[in-house]
Structure 1
Amino acid sequence: MHRRSRTGCFTCRLRRKKCDEGKSSCRACKNLGLVCDYKRPMWWSTGEKRRQQKEMIKNVIKHTQLTKKHSQAVPLSANTPPSLCHSIPTSDGFNDHAVHTRAPSVESQLSSSCGFQHTAPEGYFAMGPPQHVVSHSQYPMFSPYEVDIKTERQIFVNDVPTRRDSTISTFSTYQPPPISSGILDYPIDSWVQQDYFESQRETFAEEPVDFNFFEYPHGPLTPSHEAVIDVEECDQHLLNHFLDNVLRLIFPILDVNQHGSARSDVILPGLEANRCYLHCCLSISAVHLKATQGLEGEQIDNDIMRHRYATISELCEALGRDTDHAQILEATLGMIFFQCSVGTPDDRLRDIPWHQHFSAATSLVNKLELPASLSTIGAATPTHPPFNMTLASWIDILGATMLGRSPVFADTYREQNMAGATLGLAELMGCDDRIMFLISEIACLEARIADGMDVNILCKYIEILGTEMGKTEPLAGQITSAISATGAIRPKQLCANMTNVFRLAARIYLCTLVPGYQNSNVSIVNLVAAFADAMNFIPAGPEGFDRSLVWPILMAGSVSLPQSQFRSMFTERCSRLGEAADFGSFGRVRELLKDLWSMNDNTYACGERQSVHWRDAMQQKGWDVLLI
């Protein structure tokens, strides 16, 4: 073991390799043809830029090694990786050789030359450490090897290629790369021993990823499937804007938990096979385009209303035929949920209220018998909940709190909770199912209060729900940073941290139902302070997850006092979020809290303690929106 250098070049630091600190270029960078930076480069500023730089470096190294060892191999550009396919794969996979539309890629040539044996994704994560690593018992068991999965997608619009994306995902594994003579002769100390011993204090073992958790509405699709999206030429810019700028806003937690699944398993199949869904997405794209680029005029408003009308028309036609229920449900849920990611708080082109759409979605869920399909999912059986049922449950539970009524499928959630089963809510939106089920029970309790529940019975129910919530409290040390030392998101830790935020928000929601509650109560003040502290473990900024916590922020912010730590925390995180803080549900809740604080702070200054409820503030603004 050598003492780790803290003055090596930033390129070697990024690669976690030993640097000889040679000037003006270290030996490793010189041999590999890399730029050697001793001054802090621009790409070191964020985790995303570091990942991009690391991908570029890997391509340069591959190019250099291939040039040395295999002059007959296909040249590899440092900036443009070779295409693995000519269309968008709508299902992520690890088998590059499954694509039969082109000649073998450089990666497949390397795999065959090195003698790699195909291993299923779960196999990489299930395998134990190799024997020669186990013998070093004095070192903690971290995963010393990395597996790079390259995915390339190309979009065809009317059979015309419009865009191609290339991504490389790095996973840690205990399976060592096989040693082969004659190709990629990395120095022995930099490939295994150096990488293992230097990284043991700085990296976390990658968490297993379940790529087949949900039952998606379009069924399993092969990696080589070509998604062909048919749009009019005048709408092509809307489709491109949706794919480039809106898609990444819609299911950020799903993308973290199941890399690329939102795009390949949910959005692209819907755009390809469901015209109603396509019109919905084009309308949402126009709303986002108008809000973010400040477009005004009849053209953009016409695009919004034209596709919105087309969506409703096709929905009505399908409902009249009483066919294609799954496609109608998919489009209806999209009309409800996608609106939460776009638009400004003062958007003049209001859509039909979300709960009217959800009434139609409820009928479709029952026709498709999705709640009944959950009865086969128990704690001991494989979990493959229908994706649209999970999405509908997310909207149902939190939407019920918007309206002060019981969730439509509250009985289903209660049965799932008693059976210890899962709906996949943690994988989709970040909060553990048990907390979401308890929020459903709190919403049911609030609805019964409106019907005139006895005070003693109410207090007993509050006590029971508080006790059940206490059983889900995290142990000491379980809430920690969700970002590894390499800058990667740790999906399970992120969900644990987000669940903690939702748990505190649910406790605040429950406390507001206590008879005689006031915002100045010690219990409320302490919960809001704990909430502000819990937000420190949620990544902030444009690439963070504040926009996935709109409902918890509303619950905590609505009861925060003028000098509360919450307000300074919220202001700081809005500043870090930048322009993105002005749009979608986050922008709406920010505007709502500003008005709510203005009204309540004035009453507190006058010595009154009766605060305005956030629902009343929404009603005064004429808002009938879903804030999730």
Structure 2
Amino acid sequence: MPAASKKKSTPATELRKASQSSQSSVGEPSVLGTTEKGKLHKRSRSGCFTCRLRRKKCDEAHPSCGACSNLCVKCEYKRPSWWGNADQRRIQKERIKNKIKQTKMNERNGSLTDPLGRSRSIAVTSPLTPEYEFNRPLYAEPYDLFSSHMPAPGMSQIVYGPYGPYEIDVKTERQTYINDVPLRHDSSISTFSTFAPPQLNAPLPTFPSEDMFREEYFGQLPTLEGIDPTLYDPTMEDQTFSTLQSNIPVDDHDRPLLDHFIHNVLRLIFPVSEAHQRGHARAETILQALETNKCYLHCCLSVSAIHLKTTEGLVGEQIDHDIMRHRYEAISQLCQALGQDIDHQEILDATLAMIFFHCSVGPSDDYLPDIPWFDHFQAASNLVNRLGLPAQMLDCDGTYMAPPFSMTLTSWIDILGSTMQGKTPQFAHTYRSKHLSGSSSGLSELMGCDDRVMYLISEIACLDALRAEGRVDDMSVCSHVSALGRQLEYTEPTEPALESPYSPVTGAIRPEILTRNMTTIFRIAARIYLCSLVPGFDRDQPSNLNLVSAITNALQYIPPGPNGFDRSLVWPLLIAGAFSAPTSEFRTVLAERAASLGDHADLGSFGRMYRLLQEVWRLNDDPVDPIYVPDATFCSSPLASPVLKQEPSSPGSDGSMGGREIKKQQVHWRDVMQRHGWHYLLI
């Protein structure tokens, strides 16, 4: 037995020696070529771009690392050109996955080909492989399920090489890094043996390296119906957040504010975007900005202190001091960067955060001093123009090139914020051009309303501003209202029936259905806003009552509660509520949904919107005594009392007095805001 064992292990030993000698002989020219340059290659901290994406350790060889050489891709340390295009990114991913699969199949069929020749081919051609041409059609090699298996006896006449039977143990290790911090380590061992041929129906072994390129690194894909939400691993997200959180430079006494922002405020900011993007990509982007943008960091810490004060009921000078300290520090950092005329993109991000983050937190009666949102937005508009973002958005068609996120957020604030002030949007011409070209600005995925409806709301705001300035007469207003009404009809879907956003299979939110339902509510609210511009508009007219009722019915298809999306419908709820009748069912439904929000009903834009509506209802719904103006009073002296206010003694007293009844003038919601000095951005 010992002799037999020794004889059996000899071929495997000789094969390992031959393989090692062949690898060393092939690797020599590469080493010599590197040293002959006389200048050593400077190593980076995290490896090349491809290895970082695959989360593999990079040997950083020059001019191409070993992984890129094996995959026949160009080794780059900066962001490659194909990364900016979703279609090219998908092609590159498929190409690399096919190469990995082909390499694994070649390793299993190593006895059928010359391993020395294959190694020489890879070593010689890989460093000189040109950059991939994306316009060239990709022909995938035919995939055979049994091609990686050793043939069964008697089924083939293939002549094998001179090697005897042997065993190979392959150990695969996977190390996950985020910002050079080790996060996860996986190890697996696979044994390949030629002593016993596998069965023909045996499945192929699974290699961990085949799924290194996860979908999140090649762009977010829409959530598909039928995907089990339990497949999402929240522990990985928590680990990622914890790692990013540890890299944020913050003082020890401000660490609780940072923790509160990450765990309690972050999920409130972009609920619709998080529904579209699994893996919380937007939240990770915010955490990365906190690490590098000081102004952004202080803005978020101030917002965190506001949320902590209102939700925990903290009262005292310390919490107010924290709010104002970080608010002042954010403004100081912003002014310093503006004075130096540097970091325009970071300044824009921080300025938009000062505007938008405050819409998610804070009470409606905040007494602490702050700069109004429209002053911040004026500075943001100047930065947008300096960065040339409107031109970049016009160049993006929304299919292959994603619009800049800062410009998408700016458009959201600009369009709905202009209705708060009755002014023309700053970038109305850009939205008009996007509407004519039929291209997207990313608003649907960010805030839930179709881009075309948002473009038309911008046009309605322009008409509102022109009417307020007296630049158009009543006939022109009616003509424009009719034209914009037809444009709103064109945005209606072919199947207007609404359906539940929850998947009947898994119970998960279907973002496409959710966006369609939210767009319907925005579209109806836009029509109410448009009709309110018509001279003589009355909230009690049948057409308006039907529109408000339609919004009430559509709300049942929007998830309520703290984890719902009512806080993303602040603007349409404001428009519908401001023009609702006292007996409208909308008010009852809105009160019920506000109660389901709990403490969140008093915070942010939703709380401010509800407070404004209650004040509008109080002014417009109070019963008043009828006011009569006798006909004779119009001919009397101006010193005489022109109005006689009387209680009618009987139903027939109208005719006996020979006068006419004067209806009470409705107070506009925008006038109520100005009267109370409420600088609300209700989006």
TM range (shorter): 0.5 to 0.7
Whether the 8 Å CA contact 1:557–1:593 is kept in 2: the answer is yes
Deviations 1:353-381 (A, max 9, x none): 000000000000001100011222236x5
Match of 2:484 among 447, 461, 465: 465
Please state if 1:552 is matched with 2:588: no
1:103 correspondence with 2:122: no
Hey, what's the Cα distance between the residues in 2 that align with 1:446 and 1:463?
14
The one-letter amino acid of 2:550's match is A
For 1:620, the equivalent position in structure 2 comes to 675
Structure 1 counterpart of 2:443: 425
Query: How far apart, in 2, do the equivalents of 1:356 and 1:226 lie?
Result: 31
Partner of 1:33: none
Aligned to 1:400: 418
Q: Separation in 2 of the partners of 1:125 and 1:332? A: 26
Query: 1:141-540, aligned counterparts within 5 Å?
Result: 148-150=231-233, 152=235, 228-261=247-280, 263-378=282-397, 381-452=399-470, 453-476=472-495, 478-485=497-504, 486-540=506-560
Tell me if structure 2 keeps the 8 A contact 1:603–1:611.
no
Q: 1:445 to 1:306 in 2, by over 3 A?
A: same
User: Secondary structure in 2 aligned to 1:421?
Assistant: coil
Q: Structure 1 residues 304, 559: closer, same or farther in 2, change over 3 A?
A: same
Which residue does 1:582 correspond to in 2? 602
Q: CA deviation at 1:517?
A: 0.4
Task: Provide the residue aligned with 2:151 in structure 1.
Answer: none
Is 1:121 the counterpart of 2:215? The answer is yes
Q: CA shift at 1:247, angstroms?
A: 0.4
What is the rounded CA distance, in whole Å, between the counterparts of 1:535 and 1:146 in structure 2?
A: 25
CA-CA distance at 1:563 after TM superposition: 0.7
Query: C-alpha offsets along residues 389-447 of structure 1, whole Å, 9 cap, x if unaligned?
Result: 00000000000000000000000000011111111000100000000000000000011
Deviation at 1:603?
5.0
- Specify whether residues 403 and 237 from structure 1 end up closer, same or farther in structure 2 by C-alpha distance, changes over 3 A only: same
The change in CA–CA distance for 1:598 and 1:143 in structure 2 (over 3 A counts) is closer
Note if contact 2:244-2:287 (Cα within 8 Å) is conserved in structure 1.
Answer: no
Change (3 A) 1:262 1:344: farther
Deviation for aligned residue 1:101: 5.0
What whole-Å deviation, never above 9, does each CA across 1:201-257 have from its counterpart, x for those lacking one?
Answer: xxxxxxxxxxxxxxxxxxxxxxx9887100011100000000011000001011001
Contact 2:273-2:282 within 8 A present in 1 as well: no
Q: Distance in 1 between matches of 2:533 and 2:246?
A: 50
What amino acid maps onto 2:437 in structure 1?
A
RMSD: 3.1
Q: Give matches, 1:126-137, under 5 Å.
A: none
Q: What's the CA shift string for 1:78-103, capped at 9, x where partnerless? A: xxxxx9867689xxxxxxxxx96542
Q: CA distance change for structure 1 residues 100 and 230 in 2, over 3 Å: closer, same or farther?
A: closer
* 8 Å CA contact retained: 1:550, 1:627: yes
Quote how far apart the aligned CAs of 1:261 are.
3.7
Whole-angstrom distance in 1 between the partners of 2:533 and 2:309: 40
Moved more, 599-608 or 451-460: 599-608
Question: Structure with the greater relative contact order (CA < 8 A, sep ≥ 6): 1 or 2?
Answer: 1
Identity %: 51
For residues 589 and 622 of structure 1, the distance between their equivalents in structure 2, rounded to whole angstroms, comes to 14
Cα distance change on mapping 1:565 and 1:391 into 2, 3 Å: same
How far apart, in 2, do the equivalents of 1:145 and 1:623 lie? Answer: 45
Deviations 1:292-339 (CA, angstroms, capped at 9, x unpaired): 111111100000000000000010000000000000000000000000
User: What TM-score does the superposition give when structure 1 sets the normalisation length?
Assistant: 0.68
Which residue of 581, 584, 595 maps to 1:564? Answer: 584
Q: Distance in 2 between matches of 1:124 and 1:389?
A: 19
Structure 2 Cα separation of the partners of residues 435 and 125 of structure 1: 24
* Alpha-carbon distance change, 314 to 143 in structure 1, aligned in 2, over 3 angstroms: closer
Q: How many residues align?
A: 457
- Mark the runs of 5 or more structure 2 residues left unpaired by the alignment: 1-173, 191-202, 627-661
2:121 corresponds to: none
Q: What TM-score comes out, normalization by structure 2 length? A: 0.63
Equivalent residue, structure 1, for 2:75: none
Change (3 A) 1:262 1:299: farther
Q: Return the index of the structure with the highest Cα Rg.
A: 2
TM-fit CA distance, 1:565? 1.1
CA distance in 2 between counterparts of 1:146 and 1:334 reads 31
1:498-532 per-position Cα deviation (integer Å, ceiling 9, x unaligned): 00010011001001100110111111111000011
C-alpha deviations, 1:443-465, integer Å up to 9, x for none?
A: 00011112211211111111000
Instruction: Provide the secondary structure at the position in 1 that maps to 2:185.
Output: coil
Give the distance between the partners of 1:231 and 1:431, measured in 2 at CA.
Answer: 37
Structure 1 alignment gaps of length 5 or more: 1-82, 90-98, 127-140, 156-162, 167-223
SS in 1 for 2:394: helix
Contact (CA 8 Å) 2:175, 2:182: kept in 1 or not?
Answer: no
CA–CA distance in 1 between the matches of 2:571 and 2:453?
Answer: 13
Structure 1 position 350, deviation (Å): 3.6
Partner SS state of residue 362, structure 1: helix
CA contact (8 A) 1:341 1:585 kept: yes
Contact 1:257–1:491 (Cα < 8 Å) also in 2: yes
Q: Partner letter of residue 343 of structure 2?
A: D
Structure 1 residue identity aligned to 2:473: D
- Partners in 2 of 1:530 and 1:468 — Cα distance? 19
Deviation at 1:266, TM superposition (A): 2.8
Matched-pair contact (CA < 8 Å) for 1:86–1:153: no
Secondary structure of the structure 2 residue equivalent to 1:231: coil
For residues 348 and 280 of structure 1, what CA distance do their matches in structure 2 show?
18
Kept in 1, the 8 Å contact 2:244–2:288? The answer is: no
Distance 1:303 1:476, change over 3 A: same
Stretch moving more, 460-469 or 258-267: 258-267
| Inter-partner Cα distance in structure 1 for 2:281 and 2:624 | 45
Q: Do 2:453 and 2:488's aligned partners in 1 also have CA atoms closer than 8 Å?
A: yes
- Residue 484 of structure 1, CA deviation: 1.3
Cα distance in 1, alignment partners of residues 220 and 416 from structure 2: 35
Alpha-carbon deviations, 1:104-136, whole Å to 9, x = none? 179x9xx9964564275399999xxxxxxxxxx
* Counterparts in 2 of 1:312 and 1:455: CA distance versus 1, 3 Å: same
For residues 250 and 124 of structure 1, the distance between their equivalents in structure 2, rounded to whole angstroms, comes to: 21
1:88–1:227 contact (8 Å) kept in structure 2 = no
Residues 143, 579 of structure 1: alpha-carbon distance in 2 compared, 3 angstrom cutoff? closer
Instruction: Measure the CA separation in 2 of the matches of 1:404 and 1:248.
Output: 31
Alpha-carbon deviation of 1:474?
Answer: 2.5
Q: Which amino acid aligns with 1:415?
A: S
> Alpha-carbon deviation of 1:544?
0.3
Residue 304 of structure 1 aligns with an amino acid whose one-letter code is I
